[in-house]
Homo-oligomer: A and B are copies of this chain.
Amino acid sequence: MPRTTETASFQFNHTMIRVRDPDVSVKFYTEILGMDLLSKNNMGDYTLYFLAFDQGQNYKDISEEEKDKAKFAREGVLELTHNHGTETDASFAGYSSGNSDPGRGFGHIAITVNDVEEACARFETLGVQFKKRPQDGKMRHIAFILDPDGYWIEVVPSSLKL
């Protein structure tokens, strides 16, 4: 039950991060994480890519137009912003992960999975970079992988009890 009628329609729709090279990032989020690309929107100087996990939305069976429309009607959407040119700009310093000064603020996005060990074994095979493997450090049940820009992605068991 939403707190008040004024906020009853509110959904936490998406999280936006900037990416240097959309070809590399979209490949990572679709082929390695298994998200679907819902739309690609060229806005002039930049292009937006909206991705989400298919959680019963049947993205494989609906039209591009329906998929595009669906992206603002759910939670758990990831928006990637590509400012044109960064992918070929040798002087581009890269984006901040938000986890060191200056620039600390945002920390990570997180995916929950049934089996962290199994998911991480697959990530390892696919050449994904790790910030923390399940066996490293104190928190054995979770891992952190890095996306192509170095953003941290926490991998958490759906059954975790903190």
Which A positions have Cβ atoms within 8 angstroms of B? 1-4, 6-18, 30-31, 33-36, 39, 41, 48, 52-55, 58-61, 68-69, 72-79, 81, 95-98, 102-115, 118-119, 122, 149, 151, 154, 156-162
Contacts and interface: CB of A to CB of B under 8 A. Distances in A.
B17 A106 contact: yes
A110 to B, nearest CB: 5
Contacts of A72: 112, 156-160
Contact of A96 (B6, B55, B60, B96): B96
Contacts of A159: 72
Contact of A98 (B6, B30, B98, B162): B98
Nearest to A32: B7
Contacts of A151: 105-106
A42 to B, nearest CB: 10
Contact of A55 (B4, B11, B30, B36): B11
B161 A9 contact: no
Contact of A53 (B11, B54, B78, B162): B11
A110 B18 contact: no
Contacts of A114: 9
A43 B103 CA distance: 23
Contact of A161 (B48, B69, B76, B110): B69
Nearest to A43: B162
Contacts of A103: 96, 98, 102-105
Contacts of A9: 112-115, 158
A58 B2 CA distance: 9
